[in-house]
Amino acid sequence: MPRVVLLVPTSSYRTNDFITAARALGVELIVASDQPPSLPDPGGVRSLVVDFNDPTKAADLIVGLDNKQGVDGVVALDDQGIEIAALTADRLGLRSSSPAAVSHTRDKASLRTALAKREVSQPRFAVFDDPEEIPAIGFPCVIKPVGLSASQGVIRANNHDEATRAAKWAQKIAGGGEMIVEEYVSGSEVAVEGLLRDGNLETLVIFDKPDLMEGPYFEETIYVTPSRHKPKIIEMVKSTSAEACRAINLTEGPVHIELRISGDRCWVIEVAARSIGGLCARTLSFSTGVSWEEIILRHALEMPIDFTRERSAAGVMMIPIVKSGALTGVQGKDAALRSDNIVGVEITVPIGRSIKTLPEGDRYLGFIFARAQTPAEVEQALRLAHAKLKIEIT
Ligand SMILES: Nc1ncnc2c1ncn2[C@@H]1O[C@H](COP(=O)(O)OP(=O)(O)OP(=O)(O)O)[C@@H](O)[C@H]1O
Ligand SMILES: [Mg+2]
């Protein structure tokens, strides 16, 4: 039975989706996490504790495991594990992008610099560390710490004073360090979910984000696929995404790329060397019910892949967090689940846990999933189901 090490932060609720995929595929999964996992259904899945803050040591541990019993693939579920996965794969000769390539995606300044060298279409930017001395790139602009994710610390500023305040706040959220200031790109946003094989990007889906995100903070809400953009725009999004991967030399594995479209141009906002975050991957289903997780495992093990996506439109809403506080209750879940075209509602924050709005927040409250004939029906279903949920935060 082929053996795959899956790197997951303990906080991830997506581990079970990978366990299900591994079972379907007849793959043994070893879950490597930063703490002993408390899986709801461990079901005989073995675990390994690795230090996510020390990728070299973590890779040593997995290489040691390989010496004893053989490791056939390494997969990272999200940003925190991708450097460990790349380092390990590099040493074991397994399928992965190089450690240098994935490290560009872990640092927003490094990513922008690498894309700029190859003239990939992206916003103008500058790197700085003193909030009182932000390089002038014009307004509006967007300020972000270089090392965070999930829109944490990402703040739009429309003038000098707002920019200074934003930079001080962003730096505080990040606990210090470098920041980046970028030209604000107006327009609609899309996310590309793709798989790289031997340097070639297979675009699996393009998600539209029908809620305009204009700041000052950028909360993700609805993702719907297939995209309603014109074929010409779709082609541009695909080719720009492929150029971005080539520019940083990403060659293998899942990628999640965000772009903004304004007029007849598109700009790369971000490239991540991982699949889509949270539980959003549940919107995707290939050939006869094959999950995105299964495709990722197949890729890591160099098994054949059928990319035919199911025909229906699909989408997810990341349930917005409207205020900070303790989550005391969620009413209306059954009613939301019974609404037309809704296929799932998951609340991922336990009752009693405190949550924060952006730019400070760092977790998703939950997800609503829909499937329908058309993207417009999916979008409408998500909005109607969301209106039935009553989220209580005190
Ligand atoms: N230059 C920009 N112009 C307009 N909007 C931007 C710009 N940069 C970021 N944004 C908005 O902020 C959101 C978050 O920014 P970004 O993707 O760079 O960081 P992140 O979400 O923290 O990273 P990750 O996607 O890895 O979690 C984007 O999806 C986009 O909506
Ligand atoms: Mg992003």
What CATH number did the domain enclosing 145 receive?
A: 3.30.1490.20
Asked which of 134, 153, 183 is the last residue of a domain, the reply is 183
Ligand 1 mutation pick, 78, 269, 276, 363, max ligand atoms within 8 A of CB: 269
252-267 pLDDT, tens digit each: 999 999 999 999 999 9
> Does the CB atom of residue 170 touch ligand 1 within 6 A?
no
CATH number for position 30: 3.40.50.20
CATH code (residue 340) = 3.30.470.20
Q: In the predicted model, what is the mean pLDDT of residues 221-230?
A: 97
Q: How confident is the model at residue 173 (pLDDT cuts 50, 70, 90)?
A: very high
129 and 93, same structural domain? no
Domain boundary residue, one of 97, 115, 144: 97
- Amino acid 37: pLDDT: 63
- Ligand 1 pocket, 266 CB below 6 A? no
The structural domain count of the chain equals: 3
Query: Closest ligand to 361 CA?
Result: 1
Q: Smallest Cα–Cα separation from 193: which of 149, 146, 237?
A: 237
- List the Cα angle 249/6/112 in 5-degree steps: 30
CB of 339 within 6 A of ligand 1: the answer is no
- Look at residue 288 in the predicted model and tell me its pLDDT: 76
Ligand 1 centroid to 227 CA: how many Å?
Answer: 19
Mean per-residue pLDDT, 319-337: 96
Read off the pLDDT of residues 85-144 as tens digits, 9 standing for 90 and up: 999 999 999 999 999 999 999 999 999 999 999 999 999 999 999 999 999 999 999 999
Judged against a pLDDT cut of 60, whether residue 146 lies above it is answered with: yes
| Same structural domain, 38 and 88 | yes
Cβ neighbours of residue 153 closer than 8 Å, sequence gap 6 or more: 144, 145, 169, 170, 173, 174, 359, 360
Can you tell me the mean pLDDT for 298-323? 93
Give the pLDDT mean for 22-44.
80
**Residue-level pLDDT at 176:** 96
- Assess if residue 207 is contained within a domain: no
The reply to whether 130 and 73 lie within a common domain is no
Q: What pLDDT is stored for residue 13 in this prediction?
A: 79
| Cα(31)–Cα(91) distance, integer angstroms | 19
**Residue 378 and residue 342 share a domain:** yes
> Is the residue at 322 inside a domain?
yes
Q: Is the CB of 153 under 6 A from ligand 1?
A: no
Q: What is the mean pLDDT of the chain?
A: 95
Beta strand 253-262 with 325-331: parallel, antiparallel or unpaired?
unpaired
Same domain, 132 and 81: no
Per-residue pLDDT tens digits for 38-75: 655 556 688 899 999 999 999 999 999 988 889 999 99
> Is the pLDDT reported for residue 22 higher than 90?
yes
Token look-up 């991708």 returns 82
Split at pLDDT 50, 70, 90, the class of 287 is confident
Domain contains 383: yes
Report the pLDDT averaged over residues 346-372.
95
> Is it true that the peptide bond before 359 is cis, omega within 30 degrees of 0?
yes
Whether residue 58 sits in one domain with residue 12: yes
The 3-state DSSP class for residue 269 equals strand
Nearest CA to ligand 1 atom 11: 218
Residues 70 and 128 in one domain: no
| 213 in any annotated domain | no
In angstroms, the CA 158 to CA 139 distance is 5
Ligand 1 centroid to 23 CA: how many Å?
Answer: 35
Q: Is 115 in the pocket of ligand 1 (CB under 6 A)?
A: no
Query: In this structure, are 10 and 69 located in the same domain?
Result: yes
Domain with 91 in it = 3-97
- Tell me: do 73 and 138 sit in the same domain: no
- Flag whether 131 is in a domain: yes
Q: Are residues 390 and 355 in the same domain?
A: yes
- Angle of helix 292-300 relative to helix 15-25, nearest 10 degrees, comes to 60
Does the structure show a pLDDT above 80 at 376? yes
In a domain, 226, yes or no: no
338 and 391 inside one domain = yes
Mean pLDDT for the stretch of residues 74-84:
94
- Assess whether the C-beta atom of 267 lies below 6 angstroms from ligand 1: no
Token pair of 102 as six digits: 């994935």
Residue 241 is assigned to a structural domain of this protein: no
> Residue range 247-252: average pLDDT?
98
CA of 277 to the centre of ligand 2 (A): 10
CB of residue 151 inside a 6 A radius of ligand 1: yes
Domain-embedded: residue 152: yes
Cα separation, 335 vs 268, whole angstroms? 39
**Bridge pairing between strands 200-209 and 290-291:** unpaired
**219 CA distance to ligand 2 middle (Å):** 10
The answer for 237, left when phi > 0, alpha when psi is -120 to 50, beta otherwise, is: alpha
